[in-house]
Amino acid sequence: MGQSDKLKTLDTVLNGLMRRYKERVPDVGIILNAMVSKDIVSNSDNIENDHIAFRTMGVPNLGVQSFEKIFLHYGYEKRDHYYFEGKKLDAWWYSPPREADPRIFVSELRVNDLSEESQRIIKSYTNEVTSDPVDSLDLDNGEEVDAFLHQPLWRTPTVADYKSLLQESEYAAWVIYNRYYLNHFTISVHNLPDGYNTVAAFNEFLEQNGIRLNTSGGKIKISPDGGLLQSATVAEMINAEFANGEHLQISGSYVEFAERKVLPHFLNIPPAEIQRKHRRDGFEAANADKIFESTYTTQTGR
Ligand code: OOG
Ligand code: NI
């Protein structure tokens, strides 16, 4: 399969992710509709998606080494690694094959760093996966990949196991239920009209529309170099069905906002000629550490 067919397949996969994500996260529709009705964008298809994010379990046959094969196949390139000691996570980001495609941020739980009991619970589910499921996918079939990203990888968890994991790792509890559901998409704000093109201004617009923001470390997370500013909503609660028909309100997905400043050595370029490559790229561990908490009960329970 040639690169142009691969990019069409990538479009199918990305569209499938966004479609289901919009259904699960009502804030997405609220924000997109408010942007259109305020004439911030003429059409919600014109919104630039800075990046999307996924969470994984670091166990054999799963984790980043499995998940990344999907997007490497479509021409994404693996970039920097980040380590989150307190949260027991590793993460990497991937740069896209086309300028308009979202970057991808994939994190992985360091399962072997958890207590014996949490490891036992997680592995009782993930041990059902006895070979790398991505290896048996036809990555050139977009519908097949889309279905894979939304299908159960292991049996439906029990409420008791979910609650036990939540005590030690909110991330673990999130993944045991939500698996590869899109964790967030990210609206790029720097190319929006004046009055909306900074995270500070956009946050005000969001709050006027009743959107609740993550306050961990402050509403605006700023990289030490000042070039990457991010904010995020608090995750929406979903009425989740667990094993034995039990139900529980748990964290689903959220929305993020990013402002990437023009790099110092490109400040002489006329604004109309600024492209993605002229702006601060990549991610920032200290920002990410706080953004993860968008799904944590410390934020959703405020
Ligand atoms: C990812 C949190 C980090 C970013 O842009 O730094 C992040 C997550 O919640 O899984 O999205
Ligand atoms: Ni993000």
What ipTM did this prediction achieve? 0.99
15 pLDDT more than 90: yes
26 pLDDT more than 90: yes
Q: Counting atoms of ligand 1 from 1, which one is nearest the CA of 291?
A: 2
Q: How does 165-175 read in b/e, with b if 16+ C-beta sit within 10 Å? A: bbeebbbbbbb
Q: What angle (nearest 5°) sits at the alpha carbon of residue 252, between those of residues 239 and 215?
A: 120
Q: Taking Cα atoms as reference points, which of 128, 105, 224, 108 lies closest to residue 174? A: 108
**CA 225 – CA 63 distance, rounded (Å):** 31
Structure tokens of 228? 């990457």
CA 292 / ligand 1 centre spacing (Å): 5
Q: Is 123 exposed, middle or buried (0-12, 13-18, 19+ CB in 10 A)?
A: middle
Name the DSSP class of 212.
Answer: P
Q: What totals of helices (H) and strands (E) does the chain contain, helices first?
A: 10, 10
Average pLDDT over residues 70-89: 98
Is the Cβ–Cβ distance between 232 and 184 less than 8 Å? yes
Average pLDDT over residues 108-135: 98
- Nearest CA owner, ligand 1 atom 6: 288
Per-residue confidence band for 87, with pLDDT thresholds at 50, 70 and 90:
very high
- Nearest CA owner, ligand 1 atom 3: 288
pLDDT at 129: 98
Give the CB-side neighbour count of residue 35, counting CA atoms within 13 A.
26
| Per-chain mean pLDDT for the chain | 97
Sequence ranges of the domains in the chain: 3-212
**CA 230 – CA 216 distance, rounded (Å):** 12
- Nearest CA owner, ligand 1 atom 8: 292
Q: How many CB atoms lie within 10 A of CB 88?
A: 20
Average pLDDT over residues 160-181: 98
Q: Counting atoms of ligand 1 from 1, which one is nearest the CA of 107?
A: 10
| Nearest 10 degrees: Cα torsion 34, 39, 40, 45 | 80
Q: Counting atoms of ligand 1 from 1, which one is nearest the CA of 283?
A: 6
**CA 72 – CA 179 distance, rounded (Å):** 20
pLDDT at 1: 81
Average pLDDT over residues 160-182: 98
Is the Cβ–Cβ distance between 146 and 17 less than 8 Å? yes
**CA 165 – CA 168 distance, rounded (Å):** 5
What percent of the chain clears pLDDT 90, i.e. is strictly above it? Answer: 99
165 pLDDT more than 90: yes
Structure tokens of 272? 């109309």
- Nearest CA owner, ligand 1 atom 2: 292
Q: Counting atoms of ligand 1 from 1, which one is nearest the CA of 232?
A: 11
As for ligand 1, residues whose beta carbon falls within 6 Å of it are 53, 55, 105, 107, 183, 230, 256, 283, 287-288, 291-292
How far from 39 is each of 27, 34, 195, 198, 207, CA to CA, in Å?
18, 8, 12, 16, 17
Q: Counting atoms of ligand 1 from 1, which one is nearest the CA of 51?
A: 5
Q: Which fold has domain 3-212?
A: 2,3-Dihydroxybiphenyl 1,2-Dioxygenase; domain 1 (3.10.180)
Q: How many CB atoms lie within 10 A of CB 67?
A: 22
**CA 169 – CA 146 distance, rounded (Å):** 28
What spatial distance separates the first Cα and last Cα of the chain, rounded to whole Å? 50
CA 105 / ligand 1 centre spacing (Å): 7
pLDDT at 210: 97
DSSP E strands, 70-170: 77-84, 89-95, 103-109
Average pLDDT over residues 120-147: 98
240 pLDDT more than 90: yes
pLDDT at 99: 93
Structure tokens of 242? 């667990």
CA 12 / ligand 2 centre spacing (Å): 21
Per-residue confidence band for 214, with pLDDT thresholds at 50, 70 and 90:
very high
